[in-house]
Structure 1
Amino acid sequence: MSLVRKTVFVLLSLCLAQLGYTQHMGTKFGFELAQGKKKLDIPFEIYNNLIIVDVVLNKVIPLKFIVDTGVKTSILADRIYLDILHVDYDRSITLVGAAGGIGVEALIANNVSLEMPGLTCHGLSIFVMTEDYLRLGNSLGISVHGILGSELFNRFVVKVNYATRTLTLYEPSAFKRNPRGYEVYDLLIEESKPYIRASIVQGDTSTFDGKFLIDTGASHSAMLHVGSNEKIYVPEPNISALLGRGLSGDIYGKVGRISSISLGKFNFNSVLTSFPDSSSYQGIIGETKRQGTIGGNLMNRLHLIFDYSQKKLYVRKGSGYSRPFDTDMTGMEILATGVDFKIFLINEVRENTPAQRADIRAGDVIVKINHSRAYQLTLSQIYRIFNSKPGRKIHLKILRNQQVIKKTIVLERLI
């Protein structure tokens, strides 16, 4: 999958006194488990290392939301869903991405409800995008309609099990601290976002401890900000890449490998790491004093329990703990388009890559991969094929100028 698909970066230092949960006498607001329940399991899907849950908006419309610790306030990606329900908006604001740039217009809707089996949320205030700036479906290959922010983590102790694809919510009063088999670490909660200390090794001698945002809404393994610490540098070899899309547009940078990242006793070697262009994130670096972000492609190797109320993170090894960090071995950036996201358009081909050597071009459409017709696959399945094994031959049929052409790509580890 693409190297980073952090779908949204929002600065929430705005004065939003009206945001939060609206209070009305005699009615419960916020997230609540079904009556008498102290614990709830919620299944989720994984696309590009992101956690996707099914929700029902205002008791009517079934949607899919990303569960994102990196966002304070929940977001609906397109106003059409509330417009058809004739929901009134409180006011409009301008949201600015963490990478800076020109902001985008959003509306504030109050008294929104979200439901999942066994869980309700009433009186939620959310940002509503005036149009689908984020284009989440194109990068994930499924319809994704919004982002569930910190409200869930502020309310419950949340266990994330990537292996079983289950979120477990605990009433804080019912959660037994220090669960067996877990290591416990201090969390720093700022603006309802979780930060942790981690140790980074670049090369043989460049070692430092830093402050990192734990971001379930980022698909990368790790991101480091050059300029936030004198020991951070872009390693060689590296590749130029589209790192993701934020509110202010596409975010570019480099991707390379660092020697290791350590979270306490948990150590990860040869970690694929993103380095956004130096012009990006300067505002957020200055405001948060962080050195980077830890994302889903590292966290999915662990079992995690977030306890915001006690400012603790419980961690133990997951089944994929020792899995190597690999990425696309073709040099292609692919977008899923069409009604069901079953048309796979090659958006970019990087220089000196297997795709370029095979004369694959931007604008080509993938029709067949080996023995499978492309529409039978998901975008995630396609990327798994494309980063499966160096030296593997991938036979493609592509559509170019209304002509079907056969191509063969030999996979190569590019970093």
Structure 2
Amino acid sequence: MPIDVNGAELSFILDSGANKPILFNISDQDSVQINNVSEITIRGLGNGMPIKALKSKENQFRIGKVENKDQELYVVLDKSINLSPSLGMPIHGIIGYDLFRDFVVEINYINKVIKLHDPKFYRHKDNRKIRSLPLAIEKNKAYVDGGIFLGKGKNVPVRLLVDTGSSDAVWLFENQKKGLDVPHNNYDDFLGRGLSGDIYGKRTKVHSFSIGSFILNDAKAAFPDMESFGTINNMGNRNGSVGGEVLKRFNVVFDYSRKKVTFRKNGNFKEPFQYNWAGIELQHDGVRYIAESIADARGVVIEDDRNSFGNVQILMENKTRLSLVPEIVVSSIRLGSPAAEAGLREGDLILAINGKRIHKYKLQEVMKMLNEKEGKKVKVLIERYNSDLLFTFVLKKLF
């Protein structure tokens, strides 16, 4: 979501798992002024070391017509903490509790709209399609109760952190006493990035996941390595978290003031869960020029240059267009995955997938092309050491 910070227009992730706003990936071009600064040390999820940051007070935040002239924030100075390449768009920070605390926050995933309502005047809609659930607020974080059905009559009640900043579905903490055992069918996987490093764990699926009266069958799940949670001193009765791949299936209204959350199914509800069958992680890595013909053999222009991709275009003799486009490279690859067995490597530059040149697609769309469905044959054209290579593999069923 766009937020004006002391006059600078920045892009934030709305992260209900975060406390104070955190800025990172601030370049010279962003030119953000921050006020009343002191140095602190913070830690997030991941196995890395604590990181140095600046604590700043009396900052002005503006979101649409909403304004806060006394916002406290943290600024991370480590340049390696940068979510932009892996998300394929500029990301300057995260914002969470302070926004949820002051407003009723309505998220419409289908229309890609976030609405902030004044709690004093907001009235919850009441109809049979909407389900309201209690929302527990503990240490500035929100929790909901759900259920995990592991099969063979094994239904486990769970308390989950609501994590709008996570793109995953459900994370579960292994707990044999409670009955949260890792299913036999699983594989080691990269689960995400925290402020203190990468997070790995076991990827699997459960028979079903329930939240309120809504049931999601064959739900995607993961059991993260608990070393990544070393900074959390006391888990209390928390059993994991629920993230964006579940939340996007609903229109959600968070009301911290009344300690409730409402869910209404949307068009995403019946979508299948997305798995990284290929075993490739991608990210943006710089830019490159690509040449496109805009005229036929007779020299007649067949494509309007206004439909070109990229921010910089050069027309050559009105027949060829050079466009500056982002490079998409393999940032990591899962050992033993179909892509790894086919011969793909970290650092390979992706050029095309199944004959489609990928420079006109967003990063998330490219990932979907790579992992469309199990059993599908995928052909990937890459550039390695200035040579074009074609690799073919089949997306294997992992469970």
Give percent identity, aligned residues only: 31
Are 1:372 and 2:356 matched, yes or no?
Answer: yes
Which residue number in structure 2 is paired with residue 137 of structure 1?
A: 84
Which residue number in structure 2 is paired with residue 76 of structure 1?
A: 23
Separation (CA, whole Å) in 2 of partners of 1:91 and 1:362? 39
Separation (CA, whole Å) in 2 of partners of 1:185 and 1:102? 37
Structure 2 residue runs of 5 or longer lacking an equivalent are: 288-323
Separation (CA, whole Å) in 2 of partners of 1:274 and 1:319? 24
Which residue number in structure 1 is paired with residue 308 of structure 2?
A: none
Candidates 80, 94, 97, aligned match of 2:44 = 97
Separation (CA, whole Å) in 1 of partners of 2:358 and 2:25? 28
Which residue number in structure 2 is paired with residue 388 of structure 1?
A: 372
4+ aligned runs moved over 6 Å, structure 1: none
Separation (CA, whole Å) in 2 of partners of 1:214 and 1:229? 23
Larger radius of gyration: 2
TM-aligned CA deviation for residue 310 of structure 1 = 0.6
Are 1:64 and 2:18 matched, yes or no?
Answer: no
Are 1:355 and 2:339 matched, yes or no?
Answer: yes
TM-aligned CA deviation for residue 75 of structure 1 = 0.7
Change in CA separation of 1:272 and 1:186 when aligned onto 2, cut-off 3 Å: same
Change in CA separation of 1:357 and 1:101 when aligned onto 2, cut-off 3 Å: closer
TM-aligned CA deviation for residue 391 of structure 1 = 2.9
Tell me the secondary structure at the aligned position of residue 383 of structure 1: helix
Tell me the secondary structure at the aligned position of residue 200 of structure 2: strand
Which residue number in structure 1 is paired with residue 115 of structure 2?
A: 168
Separation (CA, whole Å) in 2 of partners of 1:187 and 1:386? 37
Tell me the secondary structure at the aligned position of residue 115 of structure 2: strand
Are 1:338 and 2:322 matched, yes or no?
Answer: no
Tell me the secondary structure at the aligned position of residue 212 of structure 1: strand
Change in CA separation of 1:313 and 1:343 when aligned onto 2, cut-off 3 Å: same
Which residue number in structure 1 is paired with residue 159 of structure 2?
A: 211
Which residue number in structure 2 is paired with residue 224 of structure 1?
A: 172
Q: Is contact 2:19-2:96 (8 Å) kept?
A: yes
Deviations 1:37-59 (A, max 9, x none): xxxxxxxxxxxxxxxx1222212
Separation (CA, whole Å) in 1 of partners of 2:26 and 2:285? 20
Q: Which letter does structure 2 place at the counterpart of 1:166?
A: V
Structure 1 residue runs of 5 or longer lacking an equivalent are: 1-52
Tell me the secondary structure at the aligned position of residue 280 of structure 1: helix
Change in CA separation of 1:80 and 1:257 when aligned onto 2, cut-off 3 Å: same
Tell me the secondary structure at the aligned position of residue 290 of structure 1: coil
Which residue number in structure 2 is paired with residue 18 of structure 1?
A: none
Tell me the secondary structure at the aligned position of residue 315 of structure 1: strand
Q: Which letter does structure 1 place at the counterpart of 2:379?
A: H
Q: Which letter does structure 1 place at the counterpart of 2:192?
A: G
Tell me the secondary structure at the aligned position of residue 234 of structure 2: helix
Q: Is contact 2:251-2:263 (8 Å) kept?
A: yes
Deviations 1:102-158 (A, max 9, x none): 211110111222223322222111010012343201210111111111111111111
Tell me the secondary structure at the aligned position of residue 240 of structure 1: strand
Which residue number in structure 2 is paired with residue 190 of structure 1?
A: 138
Separation (CA, whole Å) in 1 of partners of 2:194 and 2:158? 24
TM-aligned CA deviation for residue 81 of structure 1 = 6.3
After superposition, residues 310-325 of structure 1 pair within 5 angstroms as: 310-325=258-273
Aligned residues: 362
Tell me the secondary structure at the aligned position of residue 372 of structure 2: coil
Tell me the secondary structure at the aligned position of residue 120 of structure 2: helix
Q: Is contact 1:76-1:129 (8 Å) kept?
A: yes
Separation (CA, whole Å) in 2 of partners of 1:169 and 1:85? 25
Which protein, 1 or 2, shows the higher relative CO under an 8 Å CA cutoff with sep ≥ 6?
1
Change in CA separation of 1:170 and 1:85 when aligned onto 2, cut-off 3 Å: closer
Change in CA separation of 1:319 and 1:346 when aligned onto 2, cut-off 3 Å: same
Q: Which letter does structure 2 place at the counterpart of 1:56?
A: D
Tell me the secondary structure at the aligned position of residue 102 of structure 1: coil
Q: Is contact 2:5-2:62 (8 Å) kept?
A: yes
Moved more, 405-414 or 204-213: 405-414
After superposition, residues 13-24 of structure 1 pair within 5 angstroms as: none
Are 1:290 and 2:274 matched, yes or no?
Answer: no
Separation (CA, whole Å) in 2 of partners of 1:103 and 1:379? 30
Tell me the secondary structure at the aligned position of residue 174 of structure 1: coil
Q: Is contact 1:211-1:290 (8 Å) kept?
A: yes
TM-score normalised to the size of structure 1? 0.81
TM-aligned CA deviation for residue 359 of structure 1 = 1.6
Which residue number in structure 2 is paired with residue 118 of structure 1?
A: 65
Separation (CA, whole Å) in 2 of partners of 1:304 and 1:402? 48
Tell me the secondary structure at the aligned position of residue 298 of structure 1: helix
TM-aligned CA deviation for residue 98 of structure 1 = 4.0
Q: CA RMSD in A?
A: 2.2
Deviations 1:353-398 (A, max 9, x none): 2212322122211122233323222211101112212233332211
Q: Which letter does structure 2 place at the counterpart of 1:387?
A: N
